Structure 1
Amino acid sequence: MIGQRIRQARTIAGLSQDQVVQALGERGITLTKAALSKYERGASVPRASLLKRLGEVLQVPADYFLHEPTVSITWIAFRKRASVGTREQKKVKAVAAERVETYVKLRKSLTLEEAAPFPDCSPFATLDDAEKAAGRLRKAWNLDDLPIVSLTGLIEDREGVVVEFEGAGDAVDGLAGIANGQHAVVIVDPTVADDRKRFTMAHELGHLLMDKDAPANETEAERMANRFASAFLVPKAVAVKELGVKRTRLSLEELKILKLKYGLSMQAWIMRAHECGIIADGHRRFLFDQMSRLGMRRKEPVEYKGRERPQRFLQMVSRALAEGLLSRKQAQTLCPQLGYASTDFETTGSQVAALRAMPPDQRDARLAKVAEEMAAYYASDPELTAFEAFDEDGEGGCA
Structure 2
Amino acid sequence: MEQPAHPETEPLLGRVRVARGLTQSALAKQAGISQALLSKAESGLAELDPDRAKSVASALEVPESALTVPVSALSASIVFHRKRATMPVSKANQVRAILDLAQLQVAAILADRRPPLKIERTPLPENGYTTPEDIAKSLRKQLEPGTGPIRSVVAALEDAGVPIVVRDLESAQIDAIFSWPADAHPLVVLSDRAPTDRQRFTLAHELGHAVMHQVPSENQEAEADRFASEFLMPARGIREDLTSVSIPSLARLKPIWRVSMAALLRRARDLGQITESRYKSLSIEMSAAGYRKNEPVSISSETPGLIGAVLRDRLNAGETIDSLAADAHMTPEEFRTTYGGTLA
Give your verdict on TM over 0.5. Answer: yes
- The answer to whether 1:93 aligns with 2:83 is no
Matches within 5 A, 1:32-43: 32-43=34-45
Identify if the C-alpha distance between structure 1 residues 127 and 148 changes in structure 2 by more than 3 Å, giving closer, same or farther.
Answer: farther
Match of 1:313 in 2: 307
Q: Aligned runs of 1:359-374 on 2, under 5 Å? A: none
* Distance (whole Å) between structure 1 residues aligned to residue 70 and residue 55 of structure 2: 20
Question: Which residue number corresponds to residue 53 of structure 1?
Answer: 55
Measured after TM superposition, the shift of residue 236 of structure 1 is 0.7
CA distance in 1, matches of 2:144, 2:341: 34
Decide which moves more: 277-286 or 14-23.
277-286
SS at match of 2:295: coil
Aligned residues of 1:317 and 1:335 also touching (Cα < 8 A): no
1:172-321 correspondence runs (5 A):
172=174, 175-212=177-214, 214-215=216-217, 217=218, 220-243=219-242, 247=243, 249-306=244-301, 308-321=302-315
> Of 149, 152, 169, which aligns to 1:150?
152
Contact 1:71-1:180 at 8 Å conserved across structures: no
For residue 239 of structure 1, give the secondary structure of its aligned residue in structure 2: helix
Which residue is equivalent to 2:123?
122
Residue equivalent to 2:328? none
- Identity percentage of aligned residues: 25
Q: 1:142 to 1:239 in 2, by over 3 A?
A: closer
Q: 1:79, 1:17 → 2: CA distance?
A: 27
Deviation for aligned residue 1:222: 1.7
Root mean square deviation, CA, Å:
2.8
Distance 1:224 1:260 in 2: 25
Amino acid across the alignment from 1:102:
Q
Aligned partners of 1:253, 1:127: CA distance in 2, in Å?
38
Contact map agreement 1:168 1:187 (CA 8 A) in 2: no
Q: Hey, what's the Cα distance between the residues in 1 that align with 2:81 and 2:260?
A: 24
For residues 168 and 14 of structure 1, do their structure 2 counterparts lie closer, same or farther at Cα, with a shift above 3 Å needed?
A: closer
CA distance in 2, matches of 1:251, 1:171: 29
**Which residue pairs with 1:373 in the alignment?**
none
Structure 2 CA distance, aligned partners of 1:83 and 1:209?
27
For 1:117 and 1:258, locate their aligned partners in 2 and report how far apart those are by CA, in whole Å: 30
Q: Which moved more, 1:96-105 or 1:78-87?
A: 78-87
2:105 corresponds to: 102
Q: Please give the secondary structure, in 2, of the residue aligned with 1:250.
A: coil
Q: Distance in 2 between matches of 1:198 and 1:168?
A: 19
Q: Is the 8 A contact 2:84 2:173 kept in 1?
A: yes
Measure how far apart 1:266 and its partner are. Answer: 1.2
Alpha-carbon distance in structure 2 between the residues aligned to 1:340 and 1:291 = 37
Q: Distance in 2 between matches of 1:340 and 1:189?
A: 15
| TM-score, normalised via structure 1 length | 0.73
- Residues 31 and 55, structure 2, Cα contact 8 Å, conserved in 1: yes
**CA, structure 1 residues 327+169, in 2 after alignment: closer, same or farther (shift >3 Å)?**
closer
Counterparts of 1:324 and 1:24 in 2: how far apart (Å)?
Answer: 36
CA contact (8 A) 1:89 1:172 kept: no
Question: Is this contact kept in 1: 2:117–2:162, CA < 8 A?
Answer: no
Q: Which one has a bigger Cα radius of gyration? A: 1
- State the Cα distance separating 1:317 from its structure 2 match: 2.4
What residue is the counterpart of 1:14 in the other structure? 21
Equivalent position of 1:23 in the other structure? 30
Q: Which amino acid aligns with 1:262?
A: W
- For the Cα contact (< 8 Å) 1:260–1:303, is it kept in 2? yes
Count of residue pairs the alignment pairs up: 326
In 2, the alpha carbon distance for the partners of 1:80 and 1:142 equals: 28
Shift of 1:169: 4.8
**Post-superposition offset of 1:115:** 3.3
**Secondary structure of residue in 1 paired with 2:213:** helix
Q: What is the TM-score normalised by the length of structure 2? A: 0.84
Report the secondary structure of 1:176's partner residue. strand
Distance of 2:269 and 2:16 partners within structure 1: 47
